[in-house]
Structure 1
Amino acid sequence: MKAARFEGKICLITGGTSGIGYEMAKRMAEEGGRVIVCSVDKNIQEAVQALSQDGKYKVEGLHCDVTDKLQRLQIVGYINETYGRLDVLCLNAGVPGFKGSQFYMDEEHYDQTFAVNVKSVLFFAKDALDLLKKATDGGNILVTSSLSGVMPSKVLGVYAMGKAALMNMVKWLAIELMDFNIRVNAIAPGFTRTEMTADEFKIGIDKILHPRFTTTPDMIASVACMICSKQDGSFVNGETLVLHGGESYPKFKINKQKL
């Protein structure tokens, strides 16, 4: 039987129609939460139908480009009018940005990557602050960072730079919002099987890395839900949990039997 850590909670998840965001939404809904997923995905209603299991769980889907202030405010306004508060805000939407030598990247790619991965996180938190202050027993903000924020790759340099910025952002926000009884944390997944990493898995990254170093979105979501729940995560604040199975430790890096 599933726990009910999110019973009656209002939970908003950006990028909630696929990958880690989808699994966060699934778990929170299964544990009693009323979940709103927002995404630029054209198939958002199909995701909602799957998440709700045809009405068994309380899940809604709303279109939102997180870089668009008006669209963010429309989401916040809807939640305010409908529920009057927000208990959990998972800022999960992200893009990989330009792949390859970053010196071949133009400014447009840079601006877009930071607009989605960094700027939108800060300003969505700002836009939703008044609703989070009204949370039933303390608000929660969870940001999706990445292992690349501490182990940068030369082919995803700007992406890694943005993810590192998020780790610092959650520390500052945790201090800033502590007096409002709002916790702010981040998760930093390593190689996870999502649409964003599909190319890496096609070329066999899982054959090079030790099996412990690749994971699935549901495993990441289980930790995310622990952090966001009052029962299990109330003492976690201003932290980034790096979820990589030990990948950052060079001694265990390569699965030599697969080479």
Structure 2
Amino acid sequence: MATRLLGICNLGIRHLVTRLQPAQIGDILLMEANCLQADLSIAFTEAIFRRKSDGQMIVKASQQLAILHYLSLKPKGKGGDGNDTKKGPTDCEQQQQQNGLTEADRTNGGQQRSDADGGTTDEAANLDRAEKLVARRGNAKNFNRMAENLRVTRAEPLVLEAELELGSKHLNEGGTMHGGFVATLVDIVSCCAIDWLRRTLFAARKNWRENRHQIGVSEGRTKHHIHRDNGQSEGRRRRSCQGQT
């Protein structure tokens, strides 16, 4: 079990490997990672690696990811010594970039677009985004090197499935998979789940505010028209009474 706190990205990670079996170079593993429970700041993810040839479980890992101050980070100004710090993306922006989220992803979310065959291109877009996400995950050269033989076969906000051909770089001296590589794959699913929930919540809040504003404007116009109509009706009634007298 490994517990670590990443101060740069404000991520608290509790990683647990419950089953670890030796593997061999050339084995093809099928990975399935599912986010079992997700909130706006915490996620529980479980991943299972099985050998494709016989279905034997090689690694079973679970992770609890807590994002402490995810979207509340502010750009850095002057440091404590009065010198300007290096200008660049904030910690939050770096984390969003690591999670493969573009501005279009955050605004459009999981909208599906139908193609000519009656299917959707959303799945292909998710796969492409997940592959790019894995390719540039973090700045760890070791992980990028290990991810060369990783092929994403399914990508959804709460699920990631992939196929991996093991090489010497994936195994330690005992013949088991490197824990850091496994943990990073699980971490991707946790981060994507939280990001997806945040985008969904923010989109719902935005729609609610827009609808509330439109309802308020409509009610204001209705009251204005009723008041104006009542005034015109009252004037016509008085003129009619005066004409009769």
TM-score, with length taken from structure 2? 0.28
Larger RCO of the pair (alpha carbons < 8 Å, separation 6+)? 2
Q: Which has the larger radius of gyration?
A: 2
The structure that is strand-richer by fraction is: 2
TM-score, with length taken from structure 1? 0.27
The structure that is helix-richer by fraction is: 1
